[in-house]
A and B are shown apart, each in its own frame.
Chain A
Amino acid sequence: MSLGKLIERLIQLVPVLLGVSLIVFVMMTLTPGDPVQIMIGDQAVTPEQEAAMRRDLGLDRPIVERFFVFLGNAVTGDFGTSFYHRRPVLDVIAERLPATIELSLVALIVALLTSIPLGVLAAIRKNSIFDRIATVGSLLGVSLPGFWFGILLLMLFAVHLHILPVSGRIGYSAEIEPITHLLLIDTLLRGRFDAFLDALSHIILPAITLGLPMTAILMRVTRTSMLEVMRQDYVTFAEAKGLSRRRVIFRHALKNALIPTVSVAAIETGSLLGGNMIVETVFGWPGLGRLVVESIFLRNYPLVQAAVLFYAVTYVLLNFVADILYTVLNPRVKL
């Protein structure tokens, strides 16, 4: 794919991003309920204080002007001040982001490493016992409420078996000086293998919980597309060439079957973002998701707005990546 086409695609993203920002703005502005009232809650404030809050939030200005101010601020990374932390919203988000990224990446890796082999196996052993178990498993995977599954895992591995920690990202004794802020990498870079294992033991349950629905979906996608591909002429032709079964399945079939899997994976990575809020809450994971949930209850309005926008933009970009990956993997599709 040429650079020119890539830039063209990127430009096409602009209206969608604008639209997303508009919706976030509208959502935060026009929904029933006055943000100032919500922030005040039961506290006693004077009308002057209330007016000052309104002014600080820019709520006294015309709505169209407010949108452009919001947009301009968003582009420059100015999302206002987090009342609770008394620091710029962007700083607070940046501080929490690595934990969320690390958790999402591990969940993604777990999901990819389990779903693809299982999906392939289910497809080449179609209608076998294994296939049936895998099908039931994937149905369970999409039907399990993540928050409940996480609690079950906690009860089993942390409370009963005492082999994994209940919450947090790393034990106190294993804390290290950050480099990339991704603990699994930092602990290795610092040569602290004990700390790495500690971080790993913390991340494993949240990652499984977060990755489970994705695993189920990707397995189903892989199975279906593998079955579809195995019916294609080029697989028959590959067999007619007398190639080994392994080569037919992995080189000829899987390479094509993975095209839909990879684009669904990129899209589903976006839905990990939503799952993060739940999983981080269940496992006390100090990431962005938990921050947002906490902020909602603290009525930390600017932070929630910024985070929702951040999530939405990330989601749009992930969908964009899915598109690009699809093109790169599939030599037939010309941009």
Chain B
Amino acid sequence: MNAPLLSVKDLRTVFDTRAGRVYAVDGVNVEVRRGECLGVVGESGSGKSVTFSSVMGLVRSPGRIDGGEITFDGRDLRSLSPQAMRAVRGRDIAMTMQDSLTALNPALTVGEQIGEVLEAHDETLPRARGARQRAIRDRSVEMLLLVGIPSAESRLRQYPHEFSGGMRQRIMIAIALACRPKLLIADEPTTALDVTIQAQVLELITDIRAKLGMSVVLITHDLGVVAEHCDRVMVMYAGQVVEEGPTRDVIGNPAHPYTKGLLGSIPRLSLRGQPIRPIEGQVPDLINLPPQCRFYSRCTVRKEVCKSLISMREAAPGHQARCVRVGKDSQ
């Protein structure tokens, strides 16, 4: 039971564009333990979403996985056939997306969109057509109630646009959780929502995580969310992990200048709702990367040695950062 649920080693995902090859994810290692909530933080383009699209096998052309290992629950996901990968998606690993308005199909009823996941994965459903339909409907109602949507029975026949933003987010969570996945990847679950609704949705995810005993990856811009809901946190910058460790350590005692910058002006204990504050300068062009610290151009404490490749170094037990100023080399 001590093996992590998800283990990603040295993942590289590239996009071949006209301008050249973009290294969107460049040698990323991730571990998600059973039952834990991992926060993944970074600016747009840091590779945080692409990393987990890669895990789900959903990288679209012109992107592709160029190397690395993805092991989930003891299985090598990269070696699975597309057919077998579909059986994993939605059943073992589920995902919610940032904007529920665009992620739910506008032309299909909510009932159909929940029901089809069960139809695709649930082997316990009865075979007979009528009984099967009833079972699917009952389970759908149950899921909507679980995520806190009242009068679920009648709402199954409605279309996504007939719901409020918060309700739609709940529906998306209900869809993702319909088959009781072992891992939920929640990609920016609150960005598109009002502050008050954000809190409710996050509480919901945390509650259900406890109830179902699943693991959660929370991809977010919002450090407040991480502080409140995540056991561990991973900070990404320009396609690499730059810092990772227990939430308390990373936020209380950030080791990488980038993380420090992110946390810079946020007053302690009032992190809630704070977006990442932009740091001076720009994310480097991911096409022509010089062999040096990716943060070099924006770093306020850079040194000459930073003009070489930097590996992860241990700041404290279980807490690592990709910076020469940090303790000892962890590899």
Is A85 interfacial (CB-CB < 8 Å)?
Answer: no
Is B251 interfacial (CB-CB < 8 Å)?
Answer: no
Given known contacts A236-B97, A240-B56, A331-B161, is B86 in contact with A256 (CB within 8 Å)? no
Contact present for B108 and A251 (CB under 8 Å):
yes
Q: State the interface size on chain B (CB cutoff 8 A).
A: 29
Task: Specify which of A242, A245, A252 is in contact with B87 (CB 8 Å cutoff).
Answer: A242
Q: 1/0 per position for B107-130, CB-CB distance to A under 8 A?
A: 110000000110011000000000
Q: Pick the interface stretch among B88-96, B257-265, B266-274.
A: B88-96
Contact present for A242 and B86 (CB under 8 Å):
yes
Is A332 interfacial (CB-CB < 8 Å)?
Answer: yes
Q: Which B residues contact A (CB, under 8 angstroms)?
A: 56, 58, 60, 82, 86-91, 94-95, 97, 99, 102-108, 116-117, 120-121, 159, 161, 172, 175
Cβ contacts under 8 Å, A329 to chain B:
107
Known: A241-B90, A332-B159. 14 other contacts (CB 8 A): A234-B102, A240-B97, A241-B89, A241-B94, A242-B87, A242-B91, A242-B121, A243-B90, A245-B86, A247-B116, A255-B105, A255-B107, A331-B161, A332-B106
How far is the CB of B44 from the nearest CB of chain A, in Å? 16
- Ranked nearest first, the 9 interchain pairs of A and B with the lowest CB-CB distance are A242-B90, A242-B89, A233-B102, A241-B90, A240-B95, A237-B103, A234-B105, A331-B159, A233-B103
| 8 CB-based A-B contacts, threshold 8 Å | A237-B104, A237-B105, A240-B90, A240-B94, A241-B90, A242-B89, A242-B120, A252-B105
Give bound CA distance, A243 to B103, whole Å. 15
Cβ contacts under 8 Å, A237 to chain B:
95, 97, 103-105, 172
Is A330 interfacial (CB-CB < 8 Å)?
Answer: yes
Contact present for A232 and B102 (CB under 8 Å):
yes
Q: 1/0 per position for A206-245, CB-CB distance to B under 8 A?
A: 0000000000000000000000000011101111111111
Cβ contacts under 8 Å, A259 to chain B:
107
How far is the CB of A52 from the nearest CB of chain B, in Å? 63
Given known contacts A243-B90, A244-B86, A332-B161, is B97 in contact with A255 (CB within 8 Å)? no
Given known contacts A242-B88, A243-B116, is B106 in contact with A331 (CB within 8 Å)? yes
Nearest A-chain residue to B99, judged by Cβ: A233
Contact present for B175 and A256 (CB under 8 Å):
no
Give bound CA distance, A241 to B86, whole Å. 8
How far is the CB of A127 from the nearest CB of chain B, in Å? 9
Q: State the interface size on chain A (CB cutoff 8 A).
A: 23
Cβ contacts under 8 Å, B175 to chain A:
241
Q: Which A residues contact B (CB, under 8 angstroms)?
A: 232-234, 236-245, 247, 251-252, 255-256, 259, 329-332
Cβ contacts under 8 Å, A255 to chain B:
105, 107-108
Given known contacts A240-B89, A240-B95, A242-B88, is B106 in contact with A256 (CB within 8 Å)? yes
Give bound CA distance, A255 to B108, whole Å. 9
How far is the CB of B216 from the nearest CB of chain A, in Å? 15
Cβ contacts under 8 Å, B103 to chain A:
233-234, 236-237
How far is the CB of B253 from the nearest CB of chain A, in Å? 36
Task: Specify which of B97, B102, B117, B161 is in contact with A242 (CB 8 Å cutoff).
Answer: B117
Contact present for A241 and B117 (CB under 8 Å):
yes
Cβ contacts under 8 Å, A242 to chain B:
86-91, 117, 120-121
Cβ contacts under 8 Å, B89 to chain A:
239-242
